[in-house]
Every structure is written in structure tokens, then in C-alpha cells.
């Protein structure tokens, strides 16, 4: 099969800050990946596998280089119903996998905040969810995968076979080779519904008390926090804790949006006044609705998927997402310092998510989750003012011995990356020599 790379100027990060030209190949079958990779090497181009384009920053981008778009490789290969293990091509969407699994009483062991990602992307960024303390990361449930390397050809990779490469590929940001297909171990669930408690809390100390008290009794825990508050109300928010419901049947979701944003929100609509207004209204609404609710998994796990192109809410200049993890021993003072810095800046976030991570280790040497606490926020891109705030947050994370999440990052300094991921030299030695991304070149500078 003859494949070509064609120029595309439509590739951009989900945060819409990075917008660059790429050469793109779209192999329709797994066997064609080899030809795409060989063609890029012949042309002297670094190449990068590309999935659904939901990485917020530049971890899946290769400006002025080549991408291999994996979305044509979206087939089921095998299913072991007795063991609950499915083998799929890397370009299959998580949404399609869930729609296959849920009528069979199965569900991925953990899922991130969107179902519109590919399985290859989920592995490459070792995504995590609201049940990290119970299930660990996505890569924990990938017993085997097929990896295509430019220097070694096609490899079967698992903890027992090519163990070092398996550890580097889980959370390896697509840099160790091109994932062609993978086995996913699914979990049994009693229905398609979630029983969720919504618990308002008044400050950061109350969050940590709720998180500690809830971890043993609830599989899923997460909180939204109001990042505009200071003083005694610093870190107030709404805590969600949930388990799968025994009732409700196994109705899968439908991939339809309630509405889609047809244009970029105007810049003047996003300011400190509207930010405070939204946070006040959201907290008040959920405080009035406190209590238990039964929800379909789609509403619980993927609320933003109901809004098409929601990333346009932040305007034409886009936004940065900032997600950090810090050790539990310094978690409360570090998060407090970050929330104070955010409130003082007037920048703030509509969507600030706070969660504790458990102690179950990931098989990936470069995986983001670590025992402790994680804070994730969206910041509209206001140029120098936003970057100055993020630099201040970097200082707090570095002092706490924390790290940032590559899947969310678009500007992490090299020093912070290397300090946060001390295994990076071991990982770098296992990277495919023909693969690169703008993220990797930046943090290796």
C-alpha cells in the first residue's frame, strides 16, 4: 500500500494555544503503520502518533514535523468474555469501547473526564480517574500491547516480555514506539448507574477530612473547588463520592451532544467578575441540591462531553490547563498556597478539580499519578499575565516535591519536568529514535 503525508494546518492542541502545520499520514490498517514510519524516516522527519487530539498542550504535537493519525485503526480484534479482556486497535475510541462493554456488564477499570480519546492515547498518557485510590491508572489494566519501533520492528510487550519497554510505554507519551493494538482488562459492574453523594464543604481542611473519611467506603471521589475564595472560605467546594449502583440496567450512552458551541466566546465575557459569579452560583446550586443522586455513568464521568467544542468557551486565544500532584505530607499547605496565589492574581478557573491519589503504583515509569493530592484548573490565555501565574504555581509545586501532568501541559520548564520525573534518563534511553514531539524537545532542552 502506498501512503503519503499531506500537509494540514488544522492540527491544534485541545487548549487551542498551539496551532501549527503538520504533515499527516492516515494508515487504514495496522500493517500500513510500518510504511508510514519508514516514509517519515526516508524524508528525515521526526514522527509522532496522533489520536483524538484531546491533549490540552503539545504532548501529541510535532509542529513542522510528521504525525501518524491513528484514528483509522479502530477495530476490535478479540474478546475473552470469561476473563473480561478485550483486544483492540489503538485508534479505537474509549467511547466505542464503553458502548461495547456496558451491555455485557463490563466497564473500563478507570476512565478520565472525557470518553472522546483513543485507547492508544489513554495508554500513552496513562490516564486516571475518580477512582485512582481503588483502581490505579488505566495502564494498570493493560496486560499486553503491540508496539512498532523504527529500530526493532513489531514487538509484543508486557510486564513479562520486554518489561522495561512496557514500563516506558505506559505513560510514555507516545515516544517509545507506535502502539498498534492492546489488551484491556475490563471490570465487572452491577449496572450502568452511579449512586453519588454531593457534600458541600466550607474550606480546604474540610476537603481533606472528607477525602480521608470517604476513601475506604467509596470507589469514586472528587471535588470541585471555588478558586476565588480567600480567608476562612479558601478552598470551599462540593465533594462527590460514589459507588456503582446495583439498580438501573445496562443502557449504554449515546454519542450525542446537547449543544455545540458554534463560535469562540468573546474575550470580554471571561473576566474576574463573571468568574466569581459562576463560582458563587455553582456552589449555591449544588449546596441546595446536596444529598444522594442516582446518575448514569455518562453524566457522572463525562459531564463536559455533553457540550460539543466546549474548549471554545475560553475564546480565540485558548486556555492552559494546569494539573499538578504533590505529596500528601505537604498536600494541604501546598494546595493552600496555590489557591491563595490564584485568588490574588484574579485569573481563577471555572473548573477547578481537587482529588487525592491512592498508593497503588502504576506500571509506567513516567506516569503522572503519585500518592498525594492533585489539583487541576483551566486558565484562559491572557498572555504574560497567565504565564506569570503559572510560573508562580510551578515554584510552589517544585518546593513541595511535586510534578505536572504531561497530557495537560503546554509550557512546563525543563527543570521542573526533570525534577518531577527522576526516571527520565532511564526513559529517554528507551525512546524510539525516530519519534519526537514539541513537548519532548522542550523538556529535554
pLDDT (tens digit, 9 = 90+) per residue, 8-41?
A: 998 999 999 988 899 999 999 988 888 888 888 8
- Decide if pLDDT at 413 tops 90: yes
pLDDT at site 396: 98
Mean predicted confidence (pLDDT) in 219-245:
96
pLDDT at site 197: 98
Which pLDDT band holds residue 368 (cuts at 50, 70, 90)? very high
pLDDT at site 432: 96
pLDDT at site 410: 93
- Decide if pLDDT at 2 tops 70: no
Percent of the chain exceeding pLDDT 90 equals: 86
Question: Where is pLDDT greater, at 270 or 275?
Answer: 275
175's grid cell: 515516544
Cβ distance 136 to 358 under 8 Å?
Answer: yes
Phi and psi at 107, nearest 5°, equal -160, 150
Listed range (34-48, 84-98, 371-385) with the worst mean pLDDT: 34-48
pLDDT at site 228: 92
Average pLDDT score, the chain: 94
- Decide if pLDDT at 85 tops 70: yes
pLDDT tens digits, one per residue of 247-272: 999 999 998 887 888 888 887 677 88
Fold match flag (76-189 vs 193-419) = no
Tell me which fold the domain 193-419 belongs to.
Alpha-Beta Plaits (3.30.70)
Domain boundaries, the chain: 76-189, 193-419
- Decide if pLDDT at 1 tops 60: no
pLDDT at site 44: 80
The count of residues in the chain is 445
Mean predicted confidence (pLDDT) in 47-64:
94
Closest CA to 227 of 210, 204, 205: 204
pLDDT at site 335: 98
pLDDT at site 27: 93
Which pLDDT band holds residue 219 (cuts at 50, 70, 90)? very high
The CATH code of the domain at 76-189 is: 3.30.465.10
Amino acid at each position: 500500500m502506498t501512503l503519503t503525508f499531506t500537509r494540514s494546518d488544522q492540527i491544534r492542541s485541545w487548549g487551542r494555544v498551539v496551532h501549527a502545520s503538520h504533515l499527516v499520514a492516515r494508515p487504514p490498517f495496522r500493517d500500513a503503520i510500518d510504511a508510514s514510519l519508514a516514509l517519515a524516516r526516508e524524508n528525515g522527519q521526526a514522527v509522532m502518533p496522533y489520536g483524538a487530539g484531546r491533549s490540552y498542550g503539545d504532548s501529541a504535537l510535532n509542529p513542522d514535523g510528521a504525525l501518524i493519525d491513528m484514528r483509522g485503526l479502530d477495530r476490535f480484534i478479540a474478546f475473552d468474555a470469561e476473563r473480561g479482556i478485550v483486544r483492540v486497535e489503538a485508534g479505537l475510541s474509549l467511547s466505542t469501547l464503553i458502548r461495547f462493554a456496558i451491555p455485557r456488564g463490563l466497564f473500563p477499570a478507570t476512565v478520565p473526564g472525557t470518553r472522546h480519546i483513543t485507547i492508544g492515547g489513554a495508554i500513552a498518557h496513562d490516564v486516571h480517574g475518580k477512582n485512582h485510590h481503588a483502581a490505579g491508572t488505566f495502564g494498570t489494566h493493560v496486560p499486553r500491547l503491540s508496539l512498532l519501533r523504527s529500530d526493532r520492528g513489531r514487538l509484543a510487550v508486557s510486564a513479562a516480555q520486554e518489561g522495561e519497554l512496557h514500563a516506558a510505554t505506559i505513560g510514555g507519551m507516545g515516544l517509545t514506539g507506535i502502539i498498534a493494538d492492546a489488551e484491556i482488562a475490563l471490570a465487572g459492574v452491577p449496572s450502568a448507574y452511579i449512586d453519588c453523594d454531593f457534600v458541600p464543604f466550607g474550606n480546604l481542611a474540610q476537603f481533606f477530612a472528607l477525602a480521608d473519611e470517604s476513601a475506604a467506603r467509596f470507589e469514586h471521589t472528587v471535588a470541585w473547588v471555588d478558586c476565588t475564595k480567600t480567608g476562612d472560605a479558601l478552598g470551599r467546594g462540593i465533594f462527590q463520592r460514589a459507588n456503582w449502583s446495583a439498580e438501573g440496567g445496562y443502557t449504554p450512552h449515546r454519542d450525542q451532544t446537547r449543544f455545540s458551541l458554534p463560535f469562540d466566546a468573546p474575550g470580554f465575557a471571561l473576566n474576574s467578575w463573571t468568574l466569581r459569579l459562576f463560582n458563587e452560583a455553582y456552589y449555591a446550586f449544588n449546596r441546595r441540591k446536596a444529598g444522594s443522586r442516582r446518575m448514569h455513568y455518562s453524566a457522572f464521568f463525562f459531564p463536559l462531553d455533553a457540550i460539543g467544542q466546549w474548549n471554545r468557551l475560553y475564546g480565540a486565544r485558548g486556555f492552559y490547563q494546569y494539573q499538578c500532584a504533590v505529596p500528601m505530607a505537604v498536600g494541604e499547605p501546598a494546595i493552600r498556597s496555590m489557591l491563595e496565589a490564584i485568588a490574588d492574581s484574579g485569573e481563577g478557573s471555572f473548573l477547578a478539580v481537587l482529588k487525592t491519589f491512592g498508593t497503588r503504583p502504576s506500571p509506567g515509569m513516567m506516569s503522572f499519578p503519585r500518592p498525594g493530592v492533585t489539583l487541576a484548573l483551566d486558565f484562559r490565555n491572557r498572555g504574560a499575565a497567565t504565564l506569570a501565574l503559572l510560573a508562580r504555581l510551578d515554584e510552589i509545586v517544585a518546593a513541595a516535591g511535586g510534578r505536572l501532568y504531561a497530557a495537560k501541559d503546554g509550557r512546563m520548564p525543563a527543570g521542573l519536568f526533570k525534577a518531577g520525573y527522576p526516571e527520565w534518563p532511564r526513559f529517554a534511553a528507551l525512546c524510539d529514535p525516530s519519534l519526537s514531539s514539541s513537548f519532548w524537545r522542550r523538556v529535554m532542552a
